A and B are shown apart, each in its own frame.
Chain A
Amino acid sequence: MPPPHHRHGHPPHHPHPPHHPPGPGARPIPASRLLGFVDEAELSRSLASLLPDEGDRRFVVRCLVGEGPVHHRGANYVLLSLLQRLLARQPGLVADASHGLPVPMRLPPHLAAAAEPDADEGHYPLRLPTRALDALAGGDAERRAAMVDCLTDGPPQHALANVLMVAMLDALLGAPAAGPGA
């Protein structure tokens, strides 16, 4: 049975949070409990095929959900978990982040300029697949480059989640379309 509706401004008399925010600006879930749904171990397990090295995976999971603003951490967990569920519906379909473009760390410019573009160090331990991006850009190299820039720039909470999501979407979009009889 659905829970009773509570009008804005009237808090419920039970300890459970309401299904709708009670009013503009209100935060029904305290920040200390906001990430209660984040299961780092589960996320790590689900990323094992994308990041086979345990140390690399621990590092990336820390970047995704271990540090940074809580709403980004929570959102990363939700989106990656949902995409993982979608992938799991197609047995045998595995996302791959071992090929594609390197994902650079945002080092101070004078140090970034000295880093070798294809070296492991100075880059995150995964790559951005480009098949889906190529298709989306319609073969326009500048458009694709701009997409890559948008996806990989900024703090690692964003960039790494973007890369992993693109890797999963790349796999999903590259899979044969399911027909009516499939």
Chain B
Amino acid sequence: MTAFAAQRQAFRLAAAELGMASAAWVTVEACADAAGDAAVAELRDALGRDWPVLDAVCAGWLQGARRPRPAPGALQAALAGTQRLVIVGHEALWIDALVAALPAPVAGGAPALRLGLVCEGAPLADWDRVLANQAGRVERLGLADFQAWAGPRSSLLTFVYGQGQGTVFVLPPWLRVSGSDVRLQFRQLLGWSVLGLPLQVYPRWLVSAAADTLTELVEDVA
């Protein structure tokens, strides 16, 4: 295996298990720490066309952007009244921040906000390993059973990587769960904007969905 192929495979696994934005920030930081900005530029040239979120993060880094500190306050405000949150797509940095901001469940009691992750759409991901990172705080759901969490106190959440005119760039599983049969079974359909950097290459891996598939787009602002 060539170094390039290994690099590509490594990033693909990281993106599957951490999420594309989370993996991109971790990788770019490690790259810059090890070999400076020139290596970040090289990384962008090598993988950017295949990984548009990584491309955007590399470009942002070279222009002075640094890893965001996810701020779940606005999301928590939007979740008022929600008791079960179905998360579609995975971004470790943002889910970690949300979990850390929530009150810890009382021993033996149910948490005020249950979190479920729809474990679909990333064939390389070892979902047991992904969920193990959350120490039981995030429950496993699939496309076949996430509607078991439907209800007036249940919300859907996905991550948004960019916006166009009337569109948002999201992960493909969002299209599978936001259909007309499902969207009126959940209190709200939230997008959490995580990238905040312009996508400069064709956003493969992502899909363009109508912005009104979301009832609210939450910006990640501190």
Q: Tell me the A residues contacting B by CB distance below 8 Å.
A: 53, 55-56, 58-59, 62-63, 67-68, 105-108, 111, 114-115, 120-125, 155-157
B185 touches A107 (CB 8 A): yes
Once A63-B184, A107-B185 are accepted as A-B contacts, the answer to whether A121 and B147 lie under 8 Å apart by CB is no
Q: Is B81 an interface residue (CB 8 A)?
A: yes
Once A53-B81, A63-B184, A67-B183 are accepted as A-B contacts, the answer to whether A105 and B151 lie under 8 Å apart by CB is yes
Q: Is B215 an interface residue (CB 8 A)?
A: yes
Q: How many A-B residue pairs have CB under 8 A?
A: 60
Out of A107, A121, A155, name the residue touching B152 (CB < 8 Å). A121
Q: How many residues of B contact A (CB 8 A)?
A: 22
A121 touches B80 (CB 8 A): no
Contacts of A59 in B (CB 8 A): 152, 187-188
Out of B80, B84, B152, name the residue touching A125 (CB < 8 Å). B152
Q: Is B153 an interface residue (CB 8 A)?
A: yes
Contacts of A106 in B (CB 8 A): 181, 185
Once A53-B81, A67-B183 are accepted as A-B contacts, the answer to whether A111 and B148 lie under 8 Å apart by CB is yes
Q: Tell me the B residues contacting A by CB distance below 8 Å.
A: 80-84, 145, 147-154, 180-181, 183-185, 187-188, 215
Nearest B residue to A51 via CB reads: B152
Would you give 21 A-B contacts (Cβ < 8 Å), ordered by A?
A53-B81, A55-B81, A56-B81, A59-B187, A67-B183, A67-B184, A68-B180, A68-B184, A105-B151, A107-B147, A107-B150, A107-B185, A108-B147, A111-B147, A114-B148, A115-B148, A121-B150, A121-B153, A122-B148, A122-B150, A155-B184
Chain B CB count within 10 A is highest, among A59, A63, A120, A122, for A59
Contacts of A111 in B (CB 8 A): 145, 147-148, 150
Once A67-B180, A111-B145, A111-B147 are accepted as A-B contacts, the answer to whether A120 and B185 lie under 8 Å apart by CB is no
Given contacts A121-B84, A121-B151, A155-B184, 6 further A-B contacts (CB under 8 A): A63-B184, A67-B184, A120-B151, A121-B149, A121-B153, A123-B152
Once A55-B81, A62-B215, A68-B180 are accepted as A-B contacts, the answer to whether A120 and B148 lie under 8 Å apart by CB is no
Nearest A residue to B186 via CB reads: A59
